[in-house]
Structure 1
Amino acid sequence: MSSTTAKSPDASRRSERSRKAILQASMELVGEVGYPKLTIEAIAARAGVGKQTIYRWWSSKAAVLLDAFTEVVHDENAEGSAGGLPDTGDIEADLKYVLRATADEFSDASFEAPYRALAVAAAADPELADQFVSRLREPGVRVYTERLRAGQEAGQIDPDLDLDLAVELLLGPFQQRWLNRTGPLTHEFTDGLVELAMRALAPRGAPR
């Protein structure tokens, strides 16, 4: 009995080390070879595990990558970026600050490669799309909705607006430019996008 008790923590630690190695390998490889050339075999080789170990926990390379990317985002949030958008009282300045930071993040290859791979894969896989939306997109969109709601309460945003639609108005052009590569995600672009959105979202009768 004591022998079994002693072995269990070791097995648990080995499993956790393997899991982390697999997630890290998937993130590294998608940046190096791209999603189409990413394979379970390559992930297993990089992680130093057998591919059967991967299939025991995940059904596909997309599932591995989704878990890996979700964990990275969660870890970044845990380091201090969670908790919503800044609220200085100037909603336009706050939105510009965050959208500039988002443009920088989406232009970073270490973030861009796995996120783009997941976005493209999700377009062809309804089950993955549901996971992608619920685990990655919705939490990000929610903080914008909450900030706009605070703007409504402060009289800076039209009180009758559908906030979900308002967020789509703000983020939709950003996402389209990034996904379709129709132009660079510059700070000039994001500032202009915020300014245009604020004119549309301002209370009726306010200067536009």
Structure 2
Amino acid sequence: MVTQPGKPAPDTTRRSERSRRAIYEAALDLVAETGYPRTTVEGIAARAGVGKQTIYRWWGSKADVLLEAFLDLSEQAAADAGQVPYAIPDTGDLAADLKLVLRLTVDQMADPRFEAPGRALAAEGLVNERLGREFVAKLLEPQLQLYVTRLRSAQHAGQVRADVDPRIALELFVSPLAQRWLQHTGPITHEYTDTLVDYALFGLAPR
């Protein structure tokens, strides 16, 4: 490539990052506007102002684009809020810590920026085994492991029985929330997640 004297060579790294960001934004916008089935690689490329070959150079499918865009969105949202991604506090009060994190999760679920791509990826992961495994490994499992760590800390503090398997225990409050969100079986509120935590930690028998 020949450049004019006195002018720096084009920064291809910066140009590539701009294109990547434009593609992320286009994928998220199109899924929210038209739904996942009607979103195409061609549509993403046109909205982002890049060639279709640029997308296929970096990703294998629209699902791959959307997954990476969604992961980036989650990290950016945490950074904007001054939070460390995938963080659960440990104040010594297990119930309060779990309620705080689940309330934040509810707020994210209700955010239009997250809802459409989140539902699209969850649904596509059921029929696309490879994407489903990647969705779990990159997004869900890191979050679930933090619940495991927090529950183990509570075990060491004597707040949770020593014989409890934290990986199973977390499903008592995480799984009902996910099911209600995916299947629209009821409202998703702070009060609902607070109740899930109370039921999970204190059981159903009279206290």
TM-score normalised to structure 1 length: 0.90
Q: Which amino acid aligns with 1:119?
A: A
Describe the superposition over 1:37-84 as per-residue Cα deviations: whole angstroms up to 9, x where unpaired.
111111111100111111111111000000101111223344423362
Alignment root-mean-square deviation, CA? 2.0
1:139 aligns with 2:139: no
Shift of 1:121: 0.5
Equivalence for 2:156:
153
Q: Do the aligned partners of 1:152 and 1:158 also contact (CA within 8 Å) in 2?
A: yes
Shift of 1:2: 9.2
Equivalence for 2:54:
53
Matches within 5 A, 1:78-157: 78=79, 79-82=82-85, 84-157=87-160
Equivalence for 1:13:
14
- Gap change, CA 1:39 and 1:2, over 3 Å in 2: closer
Q: Do the aligned partners of 2:86 and 2:142 also contact (CA within 8 Å) in 1?
A: no
Between the aligned partners of 2:86 and 2:32, the Cα distance in structure 1 is 29
Between the aligned partners of 2:111 and 2:2, the Cα distance in structure 1 is 50
Q: Do the aligned partners of 1:118 and 1:132 also contact (CA within 8 Å) in 2?
A: yes
- Gap change, CA 1:70 and 1:145, over 3 Å in 2: same
Shift of 1:12: 2.0
Q: Which runs of 5+ in 1 are unaligned?
A: 201-206
Describe the superposition over 1:105-149 as per-residue Cα deviations: whole angstroms up to 9, x where unpaired.
111111111111001011101110111001100111111111111
Equivalence for 1:35:
36
Equivalence for 2:185:
182
Q: Do the aligned partners of 1:170 and 1:197 also contact (CA within 8 Å) in 2?
A: yes
Q: Which amino acid aligns with 1:92?
A: A
Q: Do the aligned partners of 2:173 and 2:193 also contact (CA within 8 Å) in 1?
A: no
**Bigger shift: residues 69-78 or 17-26:** 69-78
Between the aligned partners of 2:86 and 2:138, the Cα distance in structure 1 is 16
Q: 4+ residue runs of structure 1 moved beyond 2 angstroms? A: 74-79, 81-84
Equivalence for 2:63:
62
Bigger share in helix: 1
Aligned with 1:151: secondary structure? helix
Between the aligned partners of 2:98 and 2:17, the Cα distance in structure 1 is 39
Between the aligned partners of 1:12 and 1:130, the Cα distance in structure 2 is 30
Q: Do the aligned partners of 1:84 and 1:146 also contact (CA within 8 Å) in 2?
A: no
Matches within 5 A, 1:168-207: 168-200=171-203
Aligned with 2:38: secondary structure? coil
Between the aligned partners of 1:146 and 1:104, the Cα distance in structure 2 is 23
Q: Which amino acid aligns with 1:126?
A: E
Shift of 1:99: 0.9
Between the aligned partners of 2:161 and 2:143, the Cα distance in structure 1 is 22
Between the aligned partners of 2:2 and 2:26, the Cα distance in structure 1 is 35
1:26 aligns with 2:60: no
